[in-house]
Structure 1
């Protein structure tokens, strides 16, 4: 049996695999002694339905885009996408060929069509059982444990779907996406957070009480690539749950795969990313759920610098590891990876200070609900 060396704080531990396993799980558990910034991606939705994944989107676009009356330029651009897909499995990189604005709009609308369809197939299930969006088991625990002095859990996602919002509503977790108002909501982060306050009388003397304003424990959710219910018109951005299709003059604010998304992201950077950027800078602990690290805009230099240069704490919980995750881990000391074993459904854990992977044969900690119950308790 291999002997391992691991440094935990100022304590050096040398022991066989059982002690090594205990130290590893202790290190992962200690990650939650402070509130992290949570980033979740497609893996959280695919845990509900694989129809949310890139392969399903690719299949839908392959069949739906040719049904439009494409002109010569659009046909050439779409043909180039298909050529690149034939040579590579990288769907997002292949979409870089699209520069035509009308073709891009077709892609946006068809993306919304399939995401909305899969979401509608699963919404009732999540409304009746919030934990069927399994990341909710982790999120709800984090919200419950927020300190009164800092009652906000910051979360970001590139996901277009509303599974997180549906799950939080079902489990009565207050949240804001920055919009406030009636049926058609306007973007105003300050006003949206005022809705999450309540008055309380506190004792200031023997017979005197003074009203103060407290904030509810809540989630501040940054939909950094837009959302199914977000639309834009003349630089105005609104949120409306009733619109299945954009009304006259409006277009969907969805940042689709490929280079074009980064150009559109630039146009709406202040709307989508300014609050997100500020929140990232204010945090030194990051939890990644179902994240493949294939998005250079969302996992930008600010976050990688914190993990690599500043050695901020990080924890990645995902089904499958990949080369991007492992390259990131090679430059960090305080980032953990919890994922599925390559051979079965058991767990493997990695930290750059380890000599090798740790395998836990009898646990499926890469599943968010299993992780929450085993590591975070009630």
Structure 2
């Protein structure tokens, strides 16, 4: 027999959720809250406009399959891109995607770092980092987003973070070396001559398993270079994985880069999803099914709009909670499958990350 969900019950469950350190996964909803140009519909429009010329007959046929599937509504953008098999066309789509996202990313970089514009999830992540226990000073955060809006927000909020790369102009991929940037060597506290000890500061480990605007393949190595975001040299390949089956081929080739992501997911029992629609089956994979469905780990989804994928997960994962927008207003609603009703909160917009942070984590 299902029982009614009350505000007291929901608030208690959300408070308990934050007694554990969660693994955080944020999606395009966090960027779209700032500008819809970062969303899949905007990218789709851009690709439709750009891919009208310069295609071989085979490429044109593959792209037409994508367009037709989208026009009849049989596929969403991500699944429609599975029709792309041609490697040259895939590379062209990667370049078009990168240049499009980079222009919008660049437009917000300084304003976010200077504080004249807020990346919506910045204050929430700052609270989570501040709450890290002394025994475990790293917050694992992951995103499929290519943009660097989160990184700019970390700079603004003075949150130390590492992305797995270390070095100077061209940063190389090595988590062990990258970790040294958030560590310092300090004298021990004993009265006798104490040994030196390594002290780590509270920080974010940012995983970008689909690549980023600043990741490239250079001399058969994965590197990070901010200077090439807008002006990539000819002959340098971007290390970005776009929607479609080519994504999975590349992911399996680059699985070493995903090992840290997979390990982090495996080591957590609590999961926070921000602006994430559960459309990406590669990121919310069998490991997540095991965690949320079989092991019944706690999960909290905060996003503007619910969708059938989220609700399918909710129906199978008893300790998963959703906070989203009401269907007919900007106020909030909360759901968990153990209860027979949605809880409507009529005086707050808790799906907005800043409003949620103020309500549950303190302003």
TM interval, shorter chain, is over 0.9
Normalised to the residue count of structure 1, the TM-score between the two structures is 0.92
Measure the CA separation in 2 of the matches of 1:39 and 1:171: 19
Structure 1: where are the runs of 5+ without partners? 7-16
In 2 relative to 1, CA 246–124 (structure 1 residues): closer, same or farther, beyond 3 Å? closer
Matching residue of 2:298: 313
Structure 2: where are the runs of 5+ without partners? none
1:127 aligns to 2:113 (yes or no): yes
Comparing 221-230 and 71-80, the one that deviates more: 71-80
Measure the CA separation in 1 of the matches of 2:62 and 2:293: 38
1:94 aligns to 2:92 (yes or no): no
Matching residue of 1:14: none
In 2 relative to 1, CA 204–211 (structure 1 residues): closer, same or farther, beyond 3 Å? same
Is the CA contact (8 Å cut-off) linking 2:2 and 2:338 kept in structure 1? no
Over the aligned positions, Cα root-mean-square deviation in angstroms equals 1.6
1:5 aligns to 2:35 (yes or no): no
Shift of 1:130: 7.8
Shift of 1:235: 3.4
Matching residue of 1:25: 11
Find the partner of 2:147 among 161, 166, 171. Answer: 161
Is the CA contact (8 Å cut-off) linking 1:65 and 1:106 kept in structure 2? no
Q: Classify the secondary structure of the residue corresponding to 1:253.
A: strand
Find the partner of 2:29 among 30, 43, 55. Answer: 43
Shift of 1:124: 2.1
Matching residue of 1:340: 325
In 2 relative to 1, CA 143–184 (structure 1 residues): closer, same or farther, beyond 3 Å? same
Matching residue of 2:207: 222
In 2 relative to 1, CA 119–75 (structure 1 residues): closer, same or farther, beyond 3 Å? same
Is the CA contact (8 Å cut-off) linking 2:324 and 2:351 kept in structure 1? yes
Comparing 130-139 and 354-363, the one that deviates more: 130-139
Equivalences for 1:1-378 in 2 at 5 Å? 5=3, 20-67=6-53, 69-88=54-73, 90-129=76-115, 132-205=118-191, 208-233=193-218, 235-243=220-228, 244-271=230-257, 273-378=258-363
Is the CA contact (8 Å cut-off) linking 1:175 and 1:218 kept in structure 2? yes
Is the CA contact (8 Å cut-off) linking 1:130 and 1:171 kept in structure 2? no
Aligned residues: 361
Shift of 1:189: 0.4
Q: Classify the secondary structure of the residue corresponding to 2:52.
A: helix
Comparing 74-83 and 100-109, the one that deviates more: 74-83
Is the CA contact (8 Å cut-off) linking 1:130 and 1:167 kept in structure 2? no
Measure the CA separation in 1 of the matches of 2:116 and 2:339: 36
Is the CA contact (8 Å cut-off) linking 2:66 and 2:80 kept in structure 1? yes
Q: Classify the secondary structure of the residue corresponding to 2:291.
A: helix
Shift of 1:122: 1.5
Shift of 1:249: 3.3
Is the CA contact (8 Å cut-off) linking 1:319 and 1:367 kept in structure 2? yes
Q: Structure 1 stretches (4+) deviating beyond 2 angstroms?
A: 3-6, 199-203, 207-211, 244-249
Q: Classify the secondary structure of the residue corresponding to 1:203.
A: coil
